[in-house]
Chain A
Amino acid sequence: MRILIVDDDYVTRAKLKAILSERGDCDAAPNGDVALSMVDEALNESVPYDLITMDVDMPGMTGEDVVRAIRDREWNWAKRMGRPTREANVLMVTVRNDAQTVIASFRRGCEGYLTKPVTPEKLNVALAKLGFEPKPCEV
């Protein structure tokens, strides 16, 4: 499984990587611009990301806008390649839990929402809701 972690805070990136590296290969990006470059690269290699964790409050693009841009890229890639769209599962990981941010995130195309601070247990539950199997050692 290919995983992309997008967060401007290095502690969060390190923590998510520590937990998620047991599930697959993790890349990390500190902002939306870098994340979109990595998504482009993954699509061009035809090895798209399966899971993307996305912070909301970052310098430059917000997480919601990055998600929307990712969905546009996935759609354009599918059209160009003549293939069905393959969307990565996007899990928002943020301190914000106000209704406006949550709704905006889902409208722009995320599938799950997790509030910080991240713990292995919370992440496991959120991933299970997205259809990923729980890690045996965390059950």
Chain B
Amino acid sequence: MYDEPGARGRLGETGGVSPDLPSPADSAAPEAIDPPEADSRTVPLDFEQALDEFLGKWALVESLVDRLLEEADGQIDAFQRALRGDAWETLRRDAHRMRGGAANLVAAPLASAAHAIEAGAAARDRTGVERGVSRFRQELDRLRRFVADRRSPQAQRDSALPRRRGCES
């Protein structure tokens, strides 16, 4: 009468691998989010894509961007404290979380910098983490300026805020 817990998703017993498994080529890659290397040409945050991905919920995107900026600001000190205390796992996990948040808001350069910290922490590479934190700070400054410019009255006159097609009601 009772199904064994977890039986539905088990491998091996059903004789096959779920079709949802990534291909071997995908599996060879360490992780999924692999934002482009940040440089001055990469837009700090793709508002239009973010708006698309949040189904046109502009107020939500704005509030999340504000929260990301605030949290990332405080996170720099936390990164440095963790590095001083050799708290590698805390460092890795915090960087991982920042990376996920930035990537989901389509802030690729900040996500990339967080990824560098995460990778450095996983390898216990102090120099790598320091470089990553420095890049994270630069990208955060660039993102903050970008968002402020985007919200300036002139910018709002020049281009109306993007609105997602359909699905908005």
Contact = CB atoms under 8 A, between A and B. Distances in A.
B68 interface: yes
B5 A116 contact: no
A108 B18 CA distance: 13
B148 interface: no
A70 B136 CA distance: 37
B8 A109 contact: yes
A18 B57 contact: yes
Contacts of A129: 19-20
B33 A102 contact: no
B19 to A, nearest CB: 7
B101 A9 contact: yes
Contacts of B64: 10-11, 14
B93 A75 contact: no
Contacts of A108: 6, 9
A73 to B, nearest CB: 8
Interface residues of A, number: 51
Interface residues of B, number: 46
Contacts of A99: 22, 27
B31 A87 contact: no
A108 to B, nearest CB: 6
A75 B55 contact: no
B55 A109 contact: no
A85 B2 contact: yes
A43 interface: no
Contact of B167 (A11, A15, A111, A137): A137
A112 B100 contact: no
A79 to B, nearest CB: 6
B97 interface: yes
A37 interface: no
A36 B52 CA distance: 32
Among B9, B68, B93, find the residue whose CB has the most chain A CB atoms closer than 10 A: B9
Given A11-B101, A97-B22, A98-B30, A111 B9 contact: yes
Given A84-B1, A102-B21, A9 B100 contact: yes
21 contacts: A10-B67, A11-B104, A11-B105, A18-B60, A67-B9, A75-B2, A75-B3, A78-B2, A87-B8, A95-B99, A96-B32, A98-B29, A98-B30, A106-B11, A113-B18, A113-B20, A113-B22, A115-B32, A117-B106, A129-B19, A138-B167
Q: Which 5 A-B pairs have the closest CB atoms?
A: A109-B6, A115-B32, A71-B5, A75-B5, A71-B6
Interface of A: 8-12, 14-15, 18-19, 22, 57, 59, 67-68, 71-72, 74-75, 78-79, 84-85, 87, 90, 94-99, 102-103, 105-113, 115-120, 126, 129, 137-138
